[in-house]
């Protein structure tokens, strides 16, 4: 394909940045599709695996300067994956417009490396109906494809966008689909994997339990803080001032989950009805932060909450 792209460029005497696209069949035969006389939105992939600043080379060529390197100077290092983060309803695949009340990129998340975000917006920006609703290009790099995908999944979990609908849920679901991870991808992937459309991520039982534990932590932290402000701890000496146990009912999807919680030295212990062992959740999360990064029985969990009907709910 590279040889064919070069031959085509020479045939038309093309001398700037461009992108040739091909289709490949199951027997690895390839067919020319089109050429775009510009960079494509996927150019960060090439930059990460080659280490070449393609935009800089393009500008230099447009200014009449020669390329700073030859083809034999370019190697390939590892794998890169790109997700286009869009302001759109992931269920109906329709654009979403509005004010970005919260926008936190996953560049500084603990333990996240080899992450790149190309964007032109900041917190407070408005996504309008007059332009492409793409928010950013999120790109991750790794020595292997599996490593790049794992980093992407974590980066998407740590990407916080509020104020508009966005497609992160469907992106996150796609890159963790076993078929996608194995590389069994065709142009029929979406209709075959989502024949009825994307309906939201199907949580495992363990993920539901972790979400319930995080919701309990948020709720109890908020209630404890409210009591301190209302001076409710200034009771008579006959009142037991030890940390109380909490009996809650958490609604997760359509299920109501009875829970009993209590503080321990390791964090909040959450006992779910029907489960033999409690979950222990610990975190440095504080009220007002849009994202909770927590440890639930040794597993790293990222949970976001958003405002609904004027109230902030987990």
Residues serving a catalytic function are 38
CA distance 16 to 14: 6
Give 88-148 as a 3 state SS string: EECCCCEECCEECCEEECCCCCCCCCCEEEEECCCCCCEECCCCCCEEEEEEEEECCHHHH
Burial class of 166 by CB neighbour count within 10 A (0 to 12, 13 to 18, 19+) = buried
The residue behind tokens 């609908």 is: 165
Helix, strand, coil share of the chain (percent; to 5): 25, 30, 40
Contact between 118 and 53 under an 8 Å Cβ cutoff? The reply is: no
Report DSSP state, residue 72: G
DSSP bridge pairs for 287: none
Query: Cα angle vertex 203, ends 199, 208, to 5°?
Result: 135
Tokens of 308: 């609904």
| Torsion sign, CA atoms 41, 45, 50, 53 | positive
- Alpha carbons within 13 angstroms on the beta-carbon side of residue 187 total 4
CA 119 to chain centre: 15
């Amino acid at each position: 394909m590279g040889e064919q792209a070069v031959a085509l460029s020479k045939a038309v005497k093309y001398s700037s940045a461009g992108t040739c696209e091909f289709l490949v069949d199951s027997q690895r035969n390839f067919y020319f599709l089109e050429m775009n006389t510009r960079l494509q939105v996927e150019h960060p992939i090439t930059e990460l695996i080659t280490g070449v600043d393609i935009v800089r080379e393009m500008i230099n060529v447009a200014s009449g300067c020669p390329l700073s390197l030859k083809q034999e100077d370019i190697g390939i290092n590892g794998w890169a994956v790109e997700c286009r983060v869009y302001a759109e309803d992931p269920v109906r695949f329709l654009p979403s417009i509005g004010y970005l009340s919260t926008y936190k990129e996953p560049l500084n998340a603990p333990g996240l490396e080899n992450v790149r975000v190309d964007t032109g917006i900041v917190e407070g920006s408005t996504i309008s109906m007059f332009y492409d609703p793409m928010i950013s290009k999120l790109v991750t790099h790794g020595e292997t494809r599996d490593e790049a995908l794992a980093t992407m999944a974590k980066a998407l979990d740590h990407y916080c966008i509020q104020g508009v609908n966005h497609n992160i849920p469907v992106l996150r679901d796609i890159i963790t689909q076993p078929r996608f991870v194995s590389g069994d991808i065709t142009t029929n992937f979406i209709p075959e994997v989502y024949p009825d459309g994307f309906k939201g991520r199907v949580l495992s039982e363990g993920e539901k339990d972790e979400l319930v534990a995080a919701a309990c932590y948020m709720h109890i932290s908020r209630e404890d803080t409210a009591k301190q402000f209302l001076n409710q701890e200034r009771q008579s000496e006959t009142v037991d001032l030890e940390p109380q146990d909490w009996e809650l009912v958490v609604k997760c999807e359509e299920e109501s989950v009875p829970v009993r919680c209590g503080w321990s030295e390791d964090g909040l212990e959450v006992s779910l009805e029907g489960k033999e062992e409690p979950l222990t959740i610990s975190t440095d999360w504080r009220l007002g932060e849009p994202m909770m990064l927590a440890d639930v029985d040794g597993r790293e969990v990222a949970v976001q909450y958003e405002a609904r009907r004027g109230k902030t709910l987990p």
